[in-house]
Amino acid sequence: MRAAVLTVSDSVCAGTREDRSGPAVRRCLEEAGWVVIQAKVPDEMDRIADQLLKWVDDGYIDAVFTTGGTGVATRDVTPEATRRVLHREIPGIGEWMRFEGMRKTRRAVLSRGLAGSRGKCVIVNLPGSPQGACESLESILDLVPHIIDLLRGNTEHGNSR
């Protein structure tokens, strides 16, 4: 499986803060056997959407995981930018990540991350903290290959639940 990790952060792009969440998500994916590429963009809707489109529309990437920009601050626009490029949303993914996150911190309810598909690629918004991003990813990572199979037209359902 091939994934892209997009860190969304003004301060990371400005060089005033180290990107810790993007590399953490990359490590989690690589440990699960994924081939991963990575980039960063500032909290700007057009830049986020353009990078998502670049990766998804070239057909090489199976899944894109964003980290950052999912909170309630004024500059947090990752879900809006993602929604711009999605063909269809998968609401249960964001709901599940928040549900699982609330087992560890009440602040998980503040994450507005969403997930969906564009073509045969799945896009998932993860929180910006390294721990929150990896915990959210781990809560749904086993579902992502199934989503990709379905998007590719492999609709046979086994006995897994």
Decide if 159 is inside a domain.
no
Domain span at residue 56? 2-151
Evaluate whether residue 84 is within a structural domain. yes
Q: Is residue 104 part of a domain?
A: yes
pLDDT tens by residue, 95-146: 999 999 999 999 999 999 999 999 999 999 999 999 999 999 999 999 999 9
**138 inside domain:** yes
Question: Which tens digits make up the pLDDT trace of 27-65?
Answer: 999 999 999 999 999 999 999 999 999 999 988 999 999
Q: What is the pLDDT of residue 160?
A: 53
CATH of the domain at 128: 3.40.980.10
For residue 161, tell me if it sits in a domain: no
What are the distances in angstroms from CA 81 to CA 12, 68, 140? 18, 12, 21
pLDDT more than 90, % of the chain? 94
Number of domains in the chain: 1
Does the residue 157 lie in any domain? Answer: no
Tokens of 108: 């998980």
